[in-house]
Amino acid sequence: MAITRITTANAIADSSVQNIKMSNIVQSKNIIINGDMSIAQRGTSVTGITGSSYNTLDRMRVEAGTAGTWTQTQSTDVPTGQGFATSLKMDCTTANASLSASSNLKIQQRIEGQNLQYIKKGTSSAESTTASFWVKSNKTGTYICGLRDLDNDRAISKSYTISSANTWEKKTIIFPGDTTGTLNNDNGESFRIDFHLVAGSNFTSGTLQTSWGPKVDANRAVGQVNLADSTSNDFYITGIQLEAGTTASEFEFLPFDVNLDRCQRYYQALSNGYTITNLVFSCFDSTYAYGTHSFIKTMRTAPTINFNSLGSGNIQAYNNGAERTLSSISASNISKDRVSIDVAGSGWSGGQALHLNNNNTSVPLFTASSEL
């Protein structure tokens, strides 16, 4: 795929493009967002992971079930001399050496169909894709990386080997193009990449599906080592790149602000080091205040809003120079661009500003999520 890049000089010379955002000018070759693990809006470490969720690193979802207990960390352990500052680390804290049939653990990224139209999936011109990444683990052996087309329930898996314990290794996997099943051209989830770490017999009892075909769970992770068999086990990954073609090019490093901008289409946290630390409203009377917050970035869909707890050490209300009683906070009129926030309490001075301060530095005032 040809990549068109416009230099600063060209942009200045042509005034017609001065107001166009860079995201509309440059098509990233890397399908993966935050592949260098530099953005962690939710925090840098989460313990006690036993189920499926987004935890630390933006856009990196953990899918898990009956696979022990895990800690996920944004680590500074990285391959030397490759330009990376951070990696994703999975650390086993409660082992499961005897897996159930449904046991599974994988790191996953979910991808919008409209971002993949250029690979021409489902046509006679379908392009191959190449995954490249750096991995490190104390547990050597066979690991599985797979792609999944959710629009047509199709899948493909390939194996790779971690050969040397506790040593960074670069891996490259080429996936052939799939001439069956086009992807929806919209903002819904059409595609996934999975990095398997644990897989029970429901996913390993068949034959590894190394060509595109209808998804068969038993064929998805055949040969996968059990990373959950010891609390000594850990797994690191960084530099994930998925690109069109059959060649693994050098990792595409994006400026931090561009990478953050791409992540904030799916998740935004107010008051956690990335944005402002308080909200200001006008009090209608002594008990009610209302305001509107515009999102930093237009989100994929109208997001789900979650507020931190109320009270000392968390969200507190200040009005007319003093702390005031805060009884509730809620969201309404939620769109991809903004949210209305309704606040109730007592003892307020009507017509004056009400400040909501978040005094908990480890938990955002509120989050907005439109993750896939």
Q: Per the confidence metrics, is the pTM higher than 0.75?
A: yes
Residue 80 lies inside a defined structural domain of this protein: yes
Nearest Cα residue to 322 out of 343, 340, 346: 346
CATH code of the domain containing 17: 2.60.120.260
Q: Do 175 and 306 belong together in one domain? A: no
Residue 88 lies inside a defined structural domain of this protein: yes
Q: Do 217 and 315 belong together in one domain? A: no
Q: pLDDT at position 313, please?
A: 81
Q: Do 199 and 339 belong together in one domain? A: no
First to last CA, the chain: 26
Q: Which domain holds residue 180?
A: 8-263
**How many C-beta neighbours within 10 Å does residue 348 have?**
26
For residue range 37-84, what is the model confidence (pLDDT) as tens digits?
999 999 999 999 999 999 999 999 999 999 999 999 999 999 999 999
Q: How far apart are CA 261 and CA 365, in angstroms?
A: 20
Q: Do 281 and 246 belong together in one domain? A: no
Q: Do 256 and 298 belong together in one domain? A: no
CA 303 to centroid of chain Cα atoms:
15
**How many C-beta neighbours within 10 Å does residue 171 have?**
18
- 140 sits in the region (left: phi over 0; alpha: psi -120 to 50; else beta) called beta
Residue 72 lies inside a defined structural domain of this protein: yes
Residue 52 lies inside a defined structural domain of this protein: yes
- Beta strands, E only, 217-321: 234-244, 267-270, 278-283, 288-294, 304-307, 315-319
Residue 254 lies inside a defined structural domain of this protein: yes
Which residues of the chain fall below pLDDT 50? 1-25, 272-277
Q: pLDDT at position 358, please?
A: 82
**How many C-beta neighbours within 10 Å does residue 199 have?**
27
Q: Do 246 and 332 belong together in one domain? A: no
Q: Do 259 and 271 belong together in one domain? A: no
Q: Do 281 and 248 belong together in one domain? A: no
Residue 9 φ then ψ, to 5°: -60, -45
Copy the structure tokens of residue 64.
Answer: 């898990």
The answer to whether the CB of 261 falls within 8 A of the CB of 267 is no
The answer to whether the CB of 193 falls within 8 A of the CB of 111 is yes
Q: pLDDT at position 26, please?
A: 54
**Of 263, 288, 304, which residue sits at a domain end?**
263
Q: Do 273 and 221 belong together in one domain? A: no
Collapsed DSSP state (helix, strand, coil) of residue 11: helix
Residue 1 parent element (H or E): none
Q: pLDDT at position 25, please?
A: 41
Residue 3 lies inside a defined structural domain of this protein: no
Q: Do 118 and 233 belong together in one domain? A: yes
For residue 305, the cross-strand partners are: 368
Q: pLDDT at position 188, please?
A: 98
Kindly write down the DSSP assignment for every residue of 18-39, as one continuous string.
Answer: TTS-HHHH---S--SSSTT---
Residue 112 lies inside a defined structural domain of this protein: yes
Residue 97: burial class (beta carbons within 10 Å; 0-12, 13-18, 19+): exposed
**Of 263, 297, 319, which residue sits at a domain end?**
263
Q: Do 234 and 330 belong together in one domain? A: no
Residue 2 lies inside a defined structural domain of this protein: no
**Of 263, 278, 298, which residue sits at a domain end?**
263
Q: pLDDT at position 13, please?
A: 35
The answer to whether the CB of 145 falls within 8 A of the CB of 161 is no
Buried b / exposed e along 271-280 (16+ C-beta atoms within 10 A)? bbebbeeebe
Q: Count of domains in the chain?
A: 2
Q: Do 45 and 122 belong together in one domain? A: yes
Copy the structure tokens of residue 239.
Answer: 């530099």
